[in-house]
Structure 1
Amino acid sequence: MRSDRRNRRREFLKLAGASAAATMLALIGPLAAQTSRRVSAVSAGATGDGVALNTAKIQAAIDKLAASGGGTLVLPQGVFLSGAIFLKPGVNLHLEPGAVLKGSTNTADYPKRMTRVEGHFEEWLPALLNADGCHGLRITGSGTLDGSGAPFWKAFWDARAKDNKTKNLDVPRPRLALIENSKDVQLSGLTFKDSGFWNLHMYRCQHVLIENMSFQVPDNQRCPSTDGTDIDSCQYVTIRGCSYRVDDDCVCLKGSKGPAAMDDKDSPAVEHIRIENCTYYRGGGIVTLGSEATIVRDVVVENCTIKGKVNVLRLKLRPDTPQLYEDVHLRNITLEGGGAQIVNCAPWKQYFDLQGAAPPKSTVRNVTFENIKGHGSAFGQLAGNAGQSTISDITFKDIDVQLDSPKLMAERGINIAIQNVVINGKPYEMAPG
C-alpha cells in the first residue's frame, strides 16, 4: 500500500513537470469547458492605432465571449491602448505577430481595488491584464504586453528624491499581469516589456506553465520593482525557455510576511517549482526566495545560462518573519559575462516590523549547487540573522569557475559540503572557522 502511494506521488510529480493542461487532464480532469470560438478585438470595435483608449471595448468583447460560452479574444497586428481589463472564466487571449496591448499611463484607467501585493491585500492598482478563477486559461501568441513604464518609474524616483523613506507601494504603479486563484494555466510566446511595477504576478495558482516568454526593460535605465515573474503562494509551476532582462528579481518566490506569517491562511507554501532552459541578462537573481515568503520548498533550477550581472540564488531572510526554505537545487548553470555571484543568502532588512513580537526563527536547509561552469564575480555569502537563523546542509558539487572574489563568506557552524569544486584553476577548500 505504501509503495502504491509512493508510485502515485512519483507519477503526480512527473506529470506536474509536463504541460499544465496534460497534468490536469490526467489527474483531475478538465477544469473548464473550452471552445474554439475566436473573436477579433477589431471586430468588437477596438482600434489598434496606439491613440484610442480601448478599455471599454476590449472588456465588452471579453464579457460577451464569457456570456456566450467562452472562446479566445484575438488581438491582431496593431497597438491597442488600454487600461485595466479583466478576463473571465472560459475566455482566453491570443496576441498575433505585431500585436501590442499597451498600458495607459493614466492611473485613473486602473481603478483601485483590493488586490494582493507584497504579501497582503490592500487598495491598490490592478494590473493591465487580470484573471481571477480562470481555470484552463491560455494567454498565447507572439505579441507584446507593453506597460509604458517610463512615467511610472519617474514618479517613483521623483517621490524618492523628495523623501528617501518612500516605499514601493507609496507610488501606485500597475503590474502587467495578475493571475490568481486559477488552475491549469499556460502563458507562452509573449513579450512583457516596460512594466510599471511587477511584470507577471501569479497568486494562489496551481499547475502553471510559463514558456518561451521574454521579460524586459531598457538597458542602462533604473526601472524600479520590475520583477520578471512573481510566484506567490503557488504550487506546481514550470518556467522554461524564458529570457529575463529586468531591474529587480528575475523569478521571485513569494508568500506572506510578519511575525504571524505562518498563520496566514491566504498564503500557502510555495512548492514544486521548476525553472529550466532560461537565459538571464539582467536582474537580481535566477531565482530569489523572499522578500516576503514563509515556506518555500522543492525548487529545481537547471540548464540555465547567465549572460549578465545576475546572481544564481538569492535567499532573503527577514528578521520579522518565520521562514523555512528547503530542498532547493540548482544544476547545470553556465556563467557568462563575469557578473554572477553564485549564492547570496543574507538578512533582508529593507522593510521589517516585529510588531512587538519576539524575533522569529528561520531555517535554510538542503540546498545544492551542482555542475556550474564559467566566469562569475564572486562565490558569495551564507549568513543569517543573529540568533534567529539556522542554515544547514549546503552542497557545492562539480563546479569549475573563474571568480574575481573566490572566497565563500560563510558564518561558523554551517554544514557545508565541497565536492570537486575548482575555482580559478585550483581545488577549493573551506578555510578553518
Structure 2
Amino acid sequence: MNPKKQFILSLFIAVTSSLTWGQSSIEHENLSSKSRFLVTEFGAVGDGETMNTEAIQSAIDAAVEAGGGTVVLPEGVFASGSIFLKDGVGLHLEKGAVLQGSQDIEDYPKLNTRIEGHFEPWRMALVNAQHVTQLRITGEGVLDGNGEPFWAAFWQRREEDPNCTNLEVERPRLMFIDQCQDVLIKGLSLKDSGFWNVHVYRSQDVTIEGLSIVSPNGTPPDRAPSSDGIDIDSCQRVTIRDCFITVGDDCIAIKGTKGPKALEDKSSPPVEDVLIENCTFGSGHGVVTLGSEATIVRNVVVRDCEVTGWNKLVRLKLRPDTPQTYENLLFENIKFEGGGGIFDVKPWTQFFDLKGEEPPHSMVRNVTVRNVTGWTGKWGELMGNPLDTVKNITVENLDMKIENEAITLGPVDGLKFRNVVVNGKKMDTY
C-alpha cells in the first residue's frame, strides 16, 4: 500500500478506537425541567381500545402553543395512529405506558415520505418528527407496532407473487425521524413493528441509547418482514449504544439511495461517522448491513458488542446498478456466540435496474475486523460484482470456532490475517 494511504488508514483506526460521537456533540438537558403535557388531560384513555390519535396530537399542539415542552404518556395502553412531533416538543413514555399502533392502515396518513432510498406517497410511522431541533423521545415505556395483520398481508402477497416488492403491501414504521438535528432516543422498548422500527433520515448528531427492539425472526409466516431495527439513512454523526436488537431483518441498516444516477441525488448525502457500541444483537440478517440502498458510507465503528443469535457481522450489499463506496469500517472487541458468519460481502441483485446505463464501478476498502472471540457458522463470502474493487481487508486478533472454515473469495487486493486462530489452528493467510 502507498505509505501515505497506509498512514491515513492507521490514523483512522487509531482515532476511531477512542471516538465518542454523540457525547461530544450533544448535551442532553433534563427534560423534567420543561413543561409536561399529560395526554390524559387532553382526553386520552389508556384502556387499549380507545383511539387516542387526536388527543395525543392535541397535547403536542398545546405544547407548541405554550412554547415547548414534553408530552407524557402515563401507565396504560394508549391506542393510536400516526402522531407528529414538532419543534420544541419531546415525547416521554413513563414506566408501564404503551403507545400501541392501530391495526387499521387508514390511521396512518399516506404522505410523500422517504422510503427505500427515494420519495413517494406511503404510509407514515406511528411516531413522526420532521425538521425538529433538540428532539427527545425517552422513557421506560413501550412502542407496540401491533403489526401482525400487516405481516400477514405481506406474506399473503408474497405467496401470490414471489417477486413482489417490499412496498406493494403498505405497512407503517414505528418511528420516522426526518431531517432533525440533536436527537436523543433513549430507554424505550419497541416491539412488533409493521415495517422498519426506527428510520432516521438526513439527520445529524443523533444518539440512540438503551433501546430494546424485538420483532419475530422465525421463518415465514412466523417472521416480521422488513422489520429492520434501526435504519440510518443519509445521516452524519450517529451514535447507537447499549441497545438490544433481535428482528426479522437487518438489526442495523445503513442506507442512502440507489440506481445508476445515485451520486447525482442531492437528497442522499454520504453516511458518515457512525459509532455502534456496547450493543447485544440476537437474530437478524445482519448485525450492521450497508445497503440495500446506499452510495457512500464511510467511518463506521462497531465495538464492544455481543452477538447471541444467527446473524452476519459484516454485511455489505453491492448493487450491480449503483455506484457505491464503503470505506473505513472497523469491527472490534466482538463476542460472537451465534450462527451466521463473519463476512457477507457480495452482489445484491434484488430489484436492480440499470435503466439502460452501463454497469457502475463500486469500491470496498479499509475494512478491519479485530479482537473477535466465540463461535459462528462460517467465514462467509467476500466478493464484489465484476467491475467492483475490494481492497485492504484486515482480520487480526481473532480466536474462534468456525464450523465452515471456507471463505467464498472473489478478487481481493490486500487481504491480511494477523494473529488469527480458527478451530485451534493459526492462519497467517487465506
- Using structure 1 for the length normalisation, give the TM-score: 0.92
Aligned ranges 1:62-77 → 2 under 5 Å: 62-77=60-75
Which residue of the other structure, out of 22, 26, 33, is the alignment partner of 1:21? Answer: 26
Task: Answer yes or no: is the 8 Å Cα contact 2:216–2:248 preserved in 1.
Answer: no
Q: Distance in 1 between matches of 2:21 and 2:231?
A: 19
Provide the residue aligned with 2:362 in structure 1: 362
State the alpha-carbon separation in 2 of the partners of residues 421 and 265 from structure 1: 42
Does the 8 A contact of 2:383 with 2:412 survive in 1? no
CA separation of 1:146 and 1:413: change in aligned 2, threshold 3 A:
closer
- Retained in 1: the 8 A contact 2:64–2:87? yes
Helix, strand or coil at the partner of 1:355: coil
Residues 131-150 of structure 1: matches in 2 within 5 Å?
Answer: 131-150=129-148
Query: Which residue of structure 2 aligns with residue 301 of structure 1?
Result: 302
Q: Find the counterpart in structure 2 of residue 3 from structure 1.
A: none
Task: Work out whether 1:105 is the aligned partner of 2:106.
Answer: no
- 1:209 is aligned, of 207, 210, 225, to 207
**AA of the residue aligned to 1:383:** M
* Change in CA separation of 1:181 and 1:35 when aligned onto 2, cut-off 3 Å: farther
8 Å Cα contact 1:15/1:22 also seen in 2: no
Measure the CA separation in 2 of the matches of 1:406 and 1:277.
Answer: 28
Aligned-pair CA distance for 1:16 = 2.9
Structure 1 counterpart SS, 2:100: strand
Q: Is the 8 Å Cα contact of residues 21 and 275 (structure 2) preserved in structure 1? A: no
Secondary structure at 1:360's aligned position in 2?
coil
User: Using a 3 Å threshold, how does the CA distance of structure 1 residues 189 and 215 change in structure 2: closer, same or farther?
Assistant: same
The verdict on how the C-alpha distance between 1:230 and 1:315 changes in structure 2, with shifts beyond 3 A counting, is: same
| 1:292-349 CA-partner distances (Å, limit 9, x unpaired) | 0000000000000000101111000000000000000000000113x13011100000
- Amino acid of the structure 1 residue aligned with 2:407: L
Deviation at 1:22, TM superposition (A): 2.5
What amino acid is the match of 1:95?
Answer: L
> SS of the counterpart of 1:187?
strand
CA distance in 1, matches of 2:126, 2:404: 42
1:180 equivalent in structure 2: 178
- Identity level (%): 51
Q: Which residue of 2 aligns with 1:322?
A: 323
Q: Could you tell me how far 1:164 is from its partner in structure 2?
A: 1.4
1:347 maps to: 347
Residue equivalent to 2:227: 226
1:20 Cα offset (Å): 4.7
1:45-194 to 2 correspondences below 5 Å: 45-194=43-192
Structure 2 SS opposite 1:148: coil
Aligned equivalents of 2:33 and 2:111: distance in 1? 31
**2:381 equivalent in structure 1:** 381
The runs of 4+ residues in structure 1 deviating greater than 4 Å are none
CA gap 1:19/1:62 in 2 versus in 1, 3 angstroms: farther
Tell whether the 8 Å contact from 1:34 to 1:90 is kept in structure 2 after alignment.
no
- Kept in 2, the 8 Å contact 1:394–1:415? The answer is yes
Give how far 1:430 is off: 3.7
| Correspondence for 1:43 among 16, 30, 41 | 41
Q: Is the 8 A contact 1:148 1:195 kept in 2?
A: yes
Deviations 1:207-240 (A, max 9, x none): 0100000110135321100000000000000000
Secondary structure of the residue that 2:263 maps to in structure 1?
helix
Range with bigger deviation, 409-418 or 163-172: 409-418
Q: Is the contact between residue 34 and residue 70 of structure 1 (CA under 8 Å) also seen in structure 2?
A: no
Confirm or deny: 8 A CA contact 1:179 1:202 kept in the other structure: yes
Note the C-alpha offset of 1:409. 2.0
The alignment partner of 1:16 has SS state of coil
Query: Contact 1:149 / 1:194 at 8 angstroms: preserved in 2?
Result: yes
- Tell me, yes or no, if the aligned pair for 2:416 and 2:429 is still in contact at 8 Å: no
Matches of 2:341 and 2:92 in 1, distance apart?
Answer: 38
Contact in 2 for aligned 1:378/1:406 (Cα 8 Å): yes
Contact 1:20 1:185 in 2 (8 A): no
Distance 1:14 1:410 in 2: 32
Code of the aligned partner of 2:192: D
Residue 424 in 1 paired to residue 423 in 2? yes
**Deviation at residue 21 of structure 1 after TM alignment:** 2.4
Look up the match of 2:246: 245
Runs of 5+ unmatched residues, structure 1: 1-5, 26-32
Q: TM-score w.r.t. structure 2 length?
A: 0.93
Contact 2:50 2:79 in 1 (8 A): yes
Amino acid of the structure 2 residue aligned with 1:419: R
1:116-154: CA deviations, max 9, x gaps? 000000000000000001110110001000001110000
- Aligned mates of 1:375, 1:320 — CA distance in 2: 35
CA distance in 1, matches of 2:177, 2:412: 42
RMSD: 1.8
In the alignment, the residues of structure 2 paired with residue 256 and residue 64 of structure 1 have an alpha-carbon distance, to the nearest angstrom, of 37
Please say if residues 114 and 123 of structure 1, whose CA atoms lie closer than 8 Å, have aligned partners that are also in contact.
Answer: yes
